[in-house]
Amino acid sequence: MRRSRILGALTAAALLVASPAAAQPMDPEDPGDPGPVPGAIDRTPPTINIDYPTGGVDGWFPGPRTVPVLVVDQGTGGGASSGVGQVSYTMTGATEHEEMFEGHRGSIPVSNEGSTQIDIVATDNNGNRADARIWVGIDRVAPTITFAPHLAHGAEYALGQRVLSGFSCWDGHSGVATCNGSVPPGTPLNTATPGTRTLVVTTTDPVGNARQATLTYHVRRGTFTVQQPPTVSGTPRVGETLTATPATFAPGPTTVEHRWYRNGAELTGFDEATYTVRPQDAGSAIHYASIPVLEHHDGVPATSSPVTILKSLQADGPVRITGEARVGGVLTAVVPGLSEVLVETLLPRAATDQLAYQWLRDGQPIAGATGTSYRPGAADAGRSIGVRLTVQRPQFEPLTLQSAGTAPVARAAAQVSAKAKPKARGKVKVKVAVTAPVLADGSIVVRRGKKVVGQAVLRDGRATVVLKKRLPRGKVTLQVGYGGSAALDAASVTVRTKVR
């Protein structure tokens, strides 16, 4: 573009002449060629007169032009003229052409796009030469418009996205006179509201050629980013209230709407952040959604994780215990019938029910006692036994039932067996075994009549008593007694033996 302006400036000085005789403007009243003067000596070159076209800028024109040329030979001192002999011109650049005038005047047509250099040569009949050079530029094409690389036709931008305007204009001939856009370069395009927008650029060159280019772009409606999803708290039970903590969004909405859903279907009329669970919700999945509201933005719901509303079970009666509350006896839990609260009556037991038992001693859990039955042991003697039953069914709230306690567990009966064997003179060894539902502990006492003749402590329900006091020879009767324990009643047996 700078080169074009330089050429145009040079062309403005169109009467640049290479020879001493400079080209002169054409005389509107052409005197013509005075012709040769007989006997005179002509040493002066002819004069080249060029009528340079008007209506251009810096030598550039918006269309074809004709350059009139008149050559006059006045001779030396204005009187000694040999007359114009020959006039020719050579065109280079946009137009390549050579031609001679017929006579001393002619017109040079210039029509090709671009800059054409015209060299004119004139000689008189005495061989004197004159030269002249001019440039004529033809520019019929408007400047081109180029948008910045980061801009594309039909591009989509986010709402509020910062996009800078950018464009340039270029002209290879007369140059660029104006290059203006609806949004100046380096300033942001309009992305404040959604829709289709345009960037319009107009340009002109100095000779009046004009062009307009339009770049169309689209601004999308805004979207939200969920920074924190919503949550639901509260007990998922009929009659309880669920409370939602709404989601947080970027950008921040002006308001947030609340929605509640059952099994994916919206519950109409519930537009608060709290929801009271209704009977028809039992067994269903409830979830909450936050819907952001902001001008020019699409509010897509942000949903919470679903919570399942538990159904409720009720027992047709208490859990009961059958059996004898005695050490070594068997107690069995009896499950009552079950029915569903508020919804429908079920069979006493469902195939999916899971029953968990926990036996209790004076109301406290007994470690490991989790079966349908329980056999009281030594630690239970004198204590009350109960059972806690937990029923679990899918989509139901767990149901816990606890029985009444039994009467204090009675001690079990024990049986004593003994064998007496004579030893050395006057001594006897007695082997004792105590059998019972539980392992017997405690002491063994051996009497002869009312007199204690031996004692021992049971180990694993057995004991050996060596009677150290000398007994009279002959047959003797001994009473072997078990004193009992916290879990077992006392018992005794009579044994006879012969003393040596």
Share of the chain above pLDDT 90, in %: 64
Give the mean model confidence (pLDDT) for residues 107-133.
96
Does 443 score more than 70 pLDDT?
yes
Q: Using 50, 70 and 90 to split pLDDT, how confident is the model at 37? A: low
Does 5 score more than 50 pLDDT?
no
The predicted structure's pLDDT at residue 81? 86
Domains of the chain as residue ranges with CATH: 2-138 (2.60.40.10), 144-219 (2.60.40.10), 225-308 (2.60.40.2700), 312-402 (2.60.40.2700), 415-499 (2.60.40.10)
Give the mean model confidence (pLDDT) for residues 223-249.
95
Residue of 334, 291, 330, 329 whose CA lies nearest to 316: 334
Contacts of 253 (CB under 8 A, 6+ apart): 224, 292, 293, 294, 297, 299
Give the mean model confidence (pLDDT) for residues 340-368.
75
Give the mean model confidence (pLDDT) for residues 147-171.
96
Kindly report the average pLDDT of the chain as a whole number.
Answer: 87
Residue of 119, 116, 197, 103 whose CA lies nearest to 154: 197
Give the mean model confidence (pLDDT) for residues 402-407.
91
The predicted structure's pLDDT at residue 364? 95
Share of the chain above pLDDT 70, in %: 88
Does 24 score more than 70 pLDDT?
no
The predicted structure's pLDDT at residue 345? 36
Q: Using 50, 70 and 90 to split pLDDT, how confident is the model at 463? A: very high
Q: Using 50, 70 and 90 to split pLDDT, how confident is the model at 3? A: very low
Does 386 score more than 80 pLDDT?
yes
Give the mean model confidence (pLDDT) for residues 154-161.
95
Q: For Cα atoms 406, 412, 418, give the angle at the middle one, nearest 5 degrees.
A: 175
Q: Using 50, 70 and 90 to split pLDDT, how confident is the model at 121? A: very high
The predicted structure's pLDDT at residue 78? 54
Does 30 score more than 60 pLDDT?
no
Does 171 score more than 50 pLDDT?
yes
Decide: 414 and 327 in contact? Cβ < 8 Å: no
Contacts of 158 (CB under 8 A, 6+ apart): 191, 219, 220, 222, 223
Which of 302-306, 453-457, 470-474 shows the highest mean pLDDT?
A: 302-306
| 82 or 78, which is more confident | 82
Give the mean model confidence (pLDDT) for residues 440-454.
90
Give the mean model confidence (pLDDT) for residues 123-145.
96
Q: Which residues pair with 233 in a beta bridge?
A: 243
| 437 or 38, which is more confident | 437
Biggest CA–CA distance in the chain, Å, is 205
Q: Give pLDDT tens digits for 270-317.
A: 999 999 999 889 889 999 999 999 999 999 999 999 999 987 777 888
The predicted structure's pLDDT at residue 256? 97
The predicted structure's pLDDT at residue 316? 80
